Amino acid sequence: MDVVTLGESMVTFLPTRPGRLADVPSFERGIGGAESNVACVLAALGHSTRWVSRVGADGFGSHLVERIAGYGVDVRAVRTDPSRPTGVYFRTAADRATAAHEVAYYRAGSAASAMSVTNTDLTAAHAGRVLHLSGITAALSAECLDLTRALTAPRPGRPLVSFDVNYRPALWRGADGPRVLLELARRADIVFVGDDEAREVWGLRGGSAIREALPEPATVVVKQGKGGATAFTRDTEGLEDADGTAFPVRPPTVDVVAPIGAGDAFAAGFLSATLRGLPVERRLRHGHLAAAAALTTPADLADPPARGHADRLAALDDEAWGRLRLGPGWTQADRAPEEANTP
């Protein structure tokens, strides 16, 4: 396997029109989950991927497994829990950053929250070149935290560990969240964290401060929203090619439809380019392009651009990259780079 991901996925219900949850008359069913989103995007980009998790013995669990497998993801290590349900959630169409945005989670006591060292196929989890995890899993239960610690523990032959901080304050009980997330991030090889997220969880401001707090990972990617992303890298395991340098890369202009899922897509695009041995700046551009695919669709999970299309855009010179504008449907417009600016 190129990449193995482990974490909870839920069935998501998307509103058929804008408005409060109390007013929306109907919803369309989709799937959502940070780690499975990464696996699906990577599979769509041509990589061999596996998703490890637990689902309930219910229709929602069957739907999740079938949909994720439909992307080409290996789901043989997903276990069915006969006594716990599959998690679901509902959300409004409003931007997550606005006061109008609402999300209603029904995940307490879910099958995935019962994942543990004893009921998870650890061999399957360790069978990839990269193991991708997030801070969400660690927050689900004490058993999930123990599992995340076991998977990130240093050991001979451990795959490259990719860790997305994904701080969700509502999931953490007590004040341990910031300390635990820092511990897990420092055990990883590649870390993804938002600039605003690091400020909220650790009180850190700016990429240099974040890198100073995370000296161990070979690569720390600090996401700055519309300001782009900066990768702080050093050589390790033959997959990184820089020596302590910071690489800032701004994103193209994007006509945003919905911001959900962009962070997961960015991680997938960056990991894909890393596995392919591309230069750090190209990795960041591929992350931005995969994120743009998610930003220009209403669902949590969007098909990325074809690899050749993304390669052509990522190879644009700085001036052309700066002029790039991507709107709904751009991933289907596999045109020459000079024609890639889409309305």
Residues with catalytic annotation? 264
Q: What is the number of other CB atoms lying within 10 angstroms of the CB of residue 303?
A: 16
Task: Taking the CA atoms of 292, 139, 184 and 35 in sequence, report the sign of the dihedral they define.
Answer: negative
Give the list of residues 6+ apart from residue 144 with CB closer than 8 angstroms, or none: 112, 113, 115, 116, 137, 138
Tokens of 176: 């341990």
Pairing of strands 160-164, 190-194: parallel
Pairing of strands 10-15, 27-32: antiparallel
24 neighbors 92 (Cβ within 8 angstroms): yes
- Phi, psi angles (nearest 5°) of residue 27: -135, 155
Taking the C-alpha atoms of 4, 315, 294 and 147 in order, what is their torsion angle to the nearest 10 degrees?
20
Give the list of residues 6+ apart from residue 184 with CB closer than 8 angstroms, or none: 133, 135, 138, 148, 149, 152, 163
Task: Taking the CA atoms of 84, 87, 88 and 91 in sequence, report the sign of the dihedral they define.
Answer: positive
Give the list of residues 6+ apart from residue 203 with CB closer than 8 angstroms, or none: none
